[in-house]
Amino acid sequence: MKQIIGGSDRIDLPDYGLENIQARIDSGAKSSSIHASYIREVKKGDTTVLKFCLLGNRKLHFEATEFTKRRVKSSNGHIQERYLVKMRIVLFGRKFKTDFTLAQRKEMKYPILLGRKLLKGKFVVDVALKDLSYTQKSFNQ
């Protein structure tokens, strides 16, 4: 049975030690994206590492060894090349691994956008609701 999710929620990124990050649920977006800045590739010996800061906070430095680049059409119709990294998120107490494109979302209300690749087959969106996962998490603590 599919889980009902609202139009927005708060998610955890356990691999990054981040909790209760606001996310917009967007069934119109193919992939998920997260606000990132200071994105750069750095050589470490024979390996190339992607370094980035999350959520507009220069103190939240992270790196990924597994990443690709993808052409993405933004909401305004422009095609951009973005880095793509796999991240684990927690929703409704369950962990999901999904692709996130790293994007400049500082002008957006939500730093994270969850797209239909994550939603498909797992969730039904009811835009009249919000924070269902967060409320369940808060209730269980």
The boundaries of the domain holding residue 107 are 3-140
Tokens read off for 57: 């906070």
15-64 pLDDT tens trace = 999 999 999 999 988 889 999 999 999 998 899 999 999 987 778 889 99
| Residue 67 half-sphere exposure toward CB, CA atoms < 13 A | 23
Please give the Cα distance from 113 to 9 (Å, whole number): 10
For Cα atoms 15, 134, 60, give the angle at the middle one, nearest 5 degrees.
35
Give me the pLDDT at residue 13, please.
95
63-75 pLDDT tens trace = 999 999 999 887 7
Tell me how many domains the chain contains.
1
Give me the pLDDT at residue 141, please.
64
Could you tell me the CATH number of the domain that includes residue 121?
A: 2.40.70.10
Tell me the whole-structure pTM to 2 decimals. Answer: 0.89
Tokens read off for 126: 């009811």
